[in-house]
Structures are given as C-alpha cells and as structure tokens.
Amino acid sequence: MSKVTVRPTAGKIVIRPSDPDMMTPGGIILPDSTDLPGGLKGRVVSVGAGQIGPTGEEIPMEVKEGDEVIWMPGYGMSGLAVELDLDGETYLIIEESAVVAIKEGGE
C-alpha cells in the first residue's frame, strides 16, 4: 500500500504540529510552551498553489515545504484548522495567512 499524501488547495498549507499530543480528540490544540506566547509550532509538509489577487495576479505562497512555522489560532480567513490523521501521524490544514512567523537559522 502506498503512503497517503495530501495536496492542499490555494492559500492553504498542511502542517505537522511539533507536539501532536497537545491536541485533544476534538481537534483543540493546547499549547504548553512555544517561542511566542500562545503561538503554535509545526513543520510545513505540503503547500497549495498561491492565491489569485483582486486584479487576477497570482500571489505566491510565502511558506514552503520544510519551513518551521508559528501560527496563532483565530488568525486567517476562517480561523479554523482541519485535523487529519494519516498513516498514524496528525496533520493540520490551515490558511497560510494564519502563519505569523517562519523560523530562520538555528537547528
């Protein structure tokens, strides 16, 4: 059997949370400690196509696969994350606009 992959739609990203154990069965994320107060961390595993702007121009995605990101619940178009369980791993699909920082440098 091949491994399941998910390709998000425009403007969305798939994230593997840094600590999926901090998520309740209902999908509520309980942050313990992060780099930003109240922020949630994870690694981007898949990126959708960019958005189409109001004049028809393509707006490219700012994050890329492999980025470690910090996002805030309540940010983005809907403010909601969609939880997925694939091959025993927990993933979230969120709007790219919910990301408030991309980690650069370090480990």
For 27-31, 68-72, 81-85, 99-103, which range has the lowest pLDDT when averaged over its residues?
27-31
Span 21-26, average pLDDT: 56
In this prediction, residue 61 carries a pLDDT of: 95
Q: Which whole number is the average pLDDT over 98-103? A: 91
Rounded distance, CA 35 to CA 5, Å? 29
Structure confidence at residue 78 as a pLDDT band (50, 70, 90) = low
Q: What are the residues whose beta carbons fall under 8 Å from the beta carbon of 1, sequence distance 6 or more?
A: none
pTM (2 d.p.): 0.73
Place of tokens 């209902």: 26
Strand partners, 83: 92
Could you give all domains of the chain from N- to C-terminal order, each with its CATH number? 12-18+34-102 (2.30.33.40)
